[in-house]
Structure 1
Amino acid sequence: MHVDPRDLQGDPPPPSSGERTTVLVFGLLVAGLFGAEVLRDFTPAKSAVFFFLVAWFPLTALHEAGHAWMARVFGWRVFEVVVGFGRVVKRWQRGATRIELRAFPIGGYVVPVPRSREGAKLASFFIYAAGPGIEILLVVVLGLILGFDTLTSPSTSVGIIAAQAVSAAALTGAITNLLPMTTPEGGWTDGRGMLMSPFLDDEHFARQMASPYLIEGQRRLQGGAAAPALDVFESGLERYPSVVMLHLGRAQALIALERRGEALMYLQAAATDGSRDARFRSEIEILLKSLRAS
């Protein structure tokens, strides 16, 4: 739900023609085998798999909408909503929120930005919970409309089978997101986020508040626009000078502009700033050593 580490690397590069061909051939092969199996001795029950798969994209969008809605309930800004992963297919702006649809509509994330640290831990818990919560709510609504006995009993009605498949997909998504795990990219599942929310410190929420600057700056930097990226990082540092990633972003932008000495000077000043806490200075010192060695 928070900033996806993959997103800080800018938009993913488009796949090569060979990759596109491989994915297309594999997709057609899987679809063909699936279709042949469904059509062989077809029964209405076999359509459940089709409805399960078709439901996954709208349920993913609903899941992310749940996070975004709860963030707004608590007065947070929703900077970005992303549905899917991979190449960006469509991007548009709705008010202050940027919305992206990506090539593979499985999973997604929301970038909620707190306006203050007051009540942020409680808000964070409910924002994490809202994604799986809205999927569970959908299952409850379907059960109230159709009857829970109907929803859990074998049926030959295509409509009932579709509702059962949608419910199964919604529960699958909710349960997997509630498992308290860390993702391979370093993010948290909703379950882990809910458990960690009461223990998050002020620095965590400072990074969240700075996330629009981090994302915009890195996107411009990855796009080759180092000077605009530098402006974004410096604007962020004016408001959130304790966020280490903003200092790193400014250093990267300066190096891209062939101003390496200036980048090292800024980091050296931050590393020796006695008004900052020891953890901040230690993290800046690590960045400084890394850049000097590169």
Structure 2
Amino acid sequence: MSTRCANCGVESELDEAFEAGNQFGHPYCPSCILKTRGEDVTAVKWVFPIALVISVAGIWFNPEDDTGWAILNTLLFYVFGYASLIIHEAGHAIMGKALGLRVTNVQLGFGRTFMMVKAMDVRWEFKMIPFGGFARYIPIDLPWFRTKDFLTSFGGPLANLLVAWIMSWPIQAGAEFTKPVFGELHLWHVFLGTNLFSGLWNLIPYVSGNQPTDGMLMLRAPFIRDEQIKKLRLIRWQMECDLSLEEGEFDKALQQVEEGRKLAPDDPELASRKARALLGAQRFDEARSEALGVYEIESLSLEARARSSNTVAEANLQLDDEKLVHEAGFHSNHVMRIIPWDPEAKTVRAHLLIRKDEVDEAIPLLHSALEEESEPRPRAMMHCLLALAAHKKSDQSAYQAELSNARAAQPDHFMIAKVEKPAT
């Protein structure tokens, strides 16, 4: 049995991946759920310029009326919300590192990544939509982890409340720079308010969707079981490996897999990551063998087996053997029955179609994958395949454009050299 997405019509055997996507409760695939949320955000974004025009018009025509200033200060509250979010997540990161936890990455907002930096040995991702975020941390040593988890969860609200408290001092002293500017624009007060709101709101213990607030995490911290803490040590190496894979540090990822295997030698999640690291390191035979081993573990979830199957398919295509290309088709078919919305699955499927000279079917898949993928390395692969498709269609201008896009996304991607060969 399979479930069909009510929006795009894609079918999958992975029923649990679907969510109610409209007011009628019809099932939507993960890709359509993200697009729907993006459309909701796009609709909300129009509120800001409209409200800005209304507030400025109100102030211009009737500066004595407080309505325009009230709207403008409300908009300012949302603008300063991003700065408060940075302070909040930095509070988590600083507290976690001070307590000896491994803080791997911090995400600010959601949606497409527009900037990514590494500071304090932490990866900071800035998203297009400045609402919500998280700091991911894991234990290095087990003692006192419950206390450390409690304090790290408290670190975000504490940072906001400290900033709000410090900002209240000049107000109480009547400092000139805290007074309204350009009429009744309360910059200082609004920034204080966003920090106060962020600090207090996140202390309320509740769960929104699958995301618990800091207050809920603090309530849960004393009740974390010993076996959960031990499992977190293994998860640490899985997460470290994921970050290395995203950054293209494949040798480092392989070392992290070996560290994790000291704790759990037969962990299939580590084996799956090792296969992906070997694939990135261009050790395709080893990647294929490792991924096949994971695929054959029938007790694994459908999604985990599908992702390993996808690695097998890509390794086979890179090995450039006709028999293995046929096997790649079998694995790609399996993947597309389980996770047809996944950008990596679409990329491998497109690679197979290009190999079979079915270029016109491959190009829409790659464009769809590009819309959903924000990481530079997989985007470089997609552009390389689009360049290869353009070469097969004898479209030299598109070939050069896509090759330039690939270099811009990830200059050292191994596929660039392969795609350049047809032109030489």
- Normalising by the residue count of structure 2, what TM-score does the alignment of the two structures yield? 0.49
Structure 1, gaps ≥5 residues long: 1-11, 269-284
Question: Equivalent residue for 1:201?
Answer: 225
In 2, distance between residues paired with 1:117 and 1:219? 22
Question: Equivalent residue for 2:294?
Answer: 263
In 2, distance between residues paired with 1:94 and 1:252? 25
Q: CA deviation at 1:257?
A: 3.1
Matched, 1:105 2:130: yes
* Superposed counterparts of 1:33-72, under 5 Å: 33-42=50-59, 43=66, 44-72=69-97
In 1, distance between residues paired with 2:99 and 2:75? 37
Task: Mark the CA change 1:77 to 1:24 in structure 2 (over 3 Å): closer, same or farther.
Answer: closer
Matched, 1:192 2:216: yes
Aligned to 1:147, what secondary structure does the other structure show? helix
RCO comparison, higher one (Cα < 8 Å, 6+): 1
In 1, distance between residues paired with 2:83 and 2:39? 26
In 2, distance between residues paired with 1:117 and 1:75? 10
Residue 240 of structure 1, aligned match among 263, 269, 279: 263
Task: Mark the CA change 1:251 to 1:156 in structure 2 (over 3 Å): closer, same or farther.
Answer: closer
Aligned to 2:186, what secondary structure does the other structure show? helix
Question: Equivalent residue for 1:123?
Answer: 148
Question: Equivalent residue for 1:92?
Answer: 117
Report the identity percentage: 19
Aligned to 2:202, what secondary structure does the other structure show? helix
Task: Mark the CA change 1:252 to 1:140 in structure 2 (over 3 Å): closer, same or farther.
Answer: closer
In 1, distance between residues paired with 2:185 and 2:168? 11
Task: Mark the CA change 1:236 to 1:143 in structure 2 (over 3 Å): closer, same or farther.
Answer: same
Q: CA deviation at 1:187?
A: 3.5
Q: Which structure has the larger Rg? A: 2
In 2, distance between residues paired with 1:28 and 1:166? 21
Question: Equivalent residue for 2:11?
Answer: none
Task: Mark the CA change 1:101 to 1:222 in structure 2 (over 3 Å): closer, same or farther.
Answer: closer
Q: CA deviation at 1:240?
A: 3.0
Question: Equivalent residue for 1:276?
Answer: none
CA RMSD of aligned residues (A): 4.2
Read off the aligned partner of 1:106 and give its amino acid letter. Answer: F
Q: CA deviation at 1:198?
A: 0.7
CA contact 1:237–1:247 (8 Å) conserved in 2: no
CA contact 1:216–1:229 (8 Å) conserved in 2: no
* Superposed counterparts of 1:268-279, under 5 Å: none
Aligned to 1:241, what secondary structure does the other structure show? coil
Task: Mark the CA change 1:34 to 1:114 in structure 2 (over 3 Å): closer, same or farther.
Answer: same
Task: Mark the CA change 1:230 to 1:122 in structure 2 (over 3 Å): closer, same or farther.
Answer: closer
- CA offset digits 1:12-50 (Å, max 9, x no partner): 99xx9x99x968974663233111221233244443213
* Superposed counterparts of 1:92-171, under 5 Å: 92-147=117-172, 161-171=186-196
In 2, distance between residues paired with 1:113 and 1:138? 26
- Normalising by the residue count of structure 1, what TM-score does the alignment of the two structures yield? 0.68
* Superposed counterparts of 1:18-33, under 5 Å: 26=43, 29-33=46-50
Aligned to 1:178, what secondary structure does the other structure show? coil
Q: CA deviation at 1:247?
A: 2.6
Q: CA deviation at 1:129?
A: 0.5
Structure 2, gaps ≥5 residues long: 1-29, 60-65, 277-286, 307-333, 339-424
